[in-house]
Amino acid sequence: MKRSEINYEYITWHPERYNKKILPKWSKELSDRGYKGVSARDFYDDIFFDDLAEARLPEDYKTGEYSGIAVERILRTDKDGNPILDDKGRKTYKGRRTQITRGNKALYDLIDRSENFCLIAPISYAGRTRTNEHARYMYAFCIEVDYIQEKNGLAELIYSWERKNQPVPKPTYVVCSGNGLHLYYVFERPVPMWQNIFEAMKAYKKYMTPRLWTKYITSAYEKIEFESVNQPFRIVGTRASNGGCVLAFRVGEKVTIEYMNSFVPPECAMTNIYKPKHNLQEAQELFPEWYQRRIVEKKGREHWNRHEGIYYNWIEKILKGAVVGHRYNCLENLCSLAVQCEIPAEQVMSDCRKVAEHLETLTVSEDNHFTEYDIICALKTYHQAKEQAYRRKIEFISKKTGIELKPNKRNGRKQAKHLFLARNQKKALKQIGEMKQEGRPTGSGTKAQFVRDWRNAHPGGKKEDCHRDTGMSRDTIRKWWDVAERNNT
């Protein structure tokens, strides 16, 4: 029987054909709780049904047709078939894409023949590029839960959607990927992946993930791994992370957007699902410059480049704070910063390999080395730089990389006031340095000028506010407060 056709029950009923080692972790426990195993064919037929484009040759592609994209990790070999090794003698890998069209035949052929790690996201794309810009429909919303507590973690996870008080949404399927679990919420109707919808889904996932990564469920509750909305997951029926077979179990029914939103506060709900806030005609009237640049001239979003010191500072943070489970994201974010800071390609390649050497030293499991394949995947962010390489929020970076980052504080001030004070403080420090060399004339204290500048920027401000904003002592502020007021009049 083909692997795309087997499920948990078939494996356990035929012990003469299948070794118990093929069963991924938690599969027996899910079966014991009454959840029925489903084959890869039943699983993906239920997700994609007949919605994907028909199989065509690349030259026959038509605009408006969309397919799934599966990625297989394959061994890199030379012309004689020998493995290509990295500088430490380890095997290297590359990703090979397979387009999935109506009927999912290419997907089932991949499952039946491949012994490699294979991934797919329940999303359709235009062409062969798996990016946010090319995403068309999402067929299932997925959340991964790892490091499940050995004793009662699974029971607590199931209880989280069975309980009456503040439950989480019940998944349609639970997939055993080897050591962790993937929760699939399959939509009754596929959801279009426009940018505003993608952002709404990202907010939803950011809220929901911590509710599934509690201390009762996972041992990593203090280091939650936040995945992207379009994150691909191991394909059911293919090789699991522990060397077994990825298996799926039916848990609940298909879901609607309304059902999913009933479990989150309004600000985290997936809203504006079927249309954007403004149509193009309204946008042309409200934002004429944007319309001319983005729609008429078809230019990309504008962005700022950053100082290269930020890039090198991130290398230091990786060397001091990177941990297993976040290593790839640390290196990938370095490549993102390389784009923003305009670092030359040769330098990026050299730095990535040096950092990768350190990341490999953190390996604790033989099946989880940091490989050449990880480096190549991270470098794609640099060599195929898209807008998302420029636009990353500090909270997103911190959660993905496991390295704590804190935004610069303005103490509640508006940016203009904050920059005014920062610039004047820098100017004052420079003047103090000059005065130390030349001697300060009587009555010409730079701190008096600084107090005067602060009072100009904060009409009606109090001495205590000045102390909190500038850090100057209260005695100094009192000394120059009235002088600053007289000079202003």
Segment 259-263 shows an average pLDDT of: 91
Segment 2-14 shows an average pLDDT of: 89
Are the C-beta atoms of residues 340 and 305 closer than 8 Å to each other?
A: yes
Residue 326: exposure state from Cβ atoms within 10 A (0-12, 13-18, ≥19): buried
Confidence band of 275 (pLDDT split at 50, 70, 90): very low
pLDDT > 80? residue 296: yes
Residue that wins the pLDDT comparison between 32 and 388: 32
pLDDT tens track for 157-178: 999 999 988 899 999 999 999 8
pLDDT tens track for 195-242: 778 888 988 999 999 999 999 999 999 988 888 888 999 999 998 887
pLDDT score at 442: 46
pLDDT score at 146: 93
pLDDT > 70? residue 422: no
Are the C-beta atoms of residues 246 and 218 closer than 8 Å to each other?
A: no
Segment 63-67 shows an average pLDDT of: 68
String of DSSP letters for 77-138:
B-TTSPBPB-TTS-B-EEEEEEEE-TT-HHHHHHHHH--S-EEE-SEEESTT--SGGGEEEE
pLDDT cut 90: percent of the chain above it: 37
The domain locations on the chain are: 3-268, 308-401, 415-488
Segment 73-95 shows an average pLDDT of: 87
pLDDT tens track for 88-144: 888 888 889 999 988 899 999 999 999 899 999 999 998 777 888 888 899 999 999
Residue given tokens 């907010």 in the structure block: 203
Compute the mean pLDDT over every residue in the chain, rounded to the nearest whole number. Answer: 83
Residue that wins the pLDDT comparison between 68 and 178: 68
Q: For residue 74, which of 57, 98, 55, 58 has the smallest C-alpha distance?
A: 98
pTM of the predicted protein model: 0.59
pLDDT tens track for 437-481: 444 444 445 678 888 888 887 777 888 778 777 778 888 888 888
Please give the Cα distance from 255 to 205 (Å, whole number): 15
SS3 289: helix
pLDDT score at 445: 53
Segment 312-320 shows an average pLDDT of: 93
Please give the Cα distance from 170 to 164 (Å, whole number): 12
Give the tokens for residue 75.
């061994």
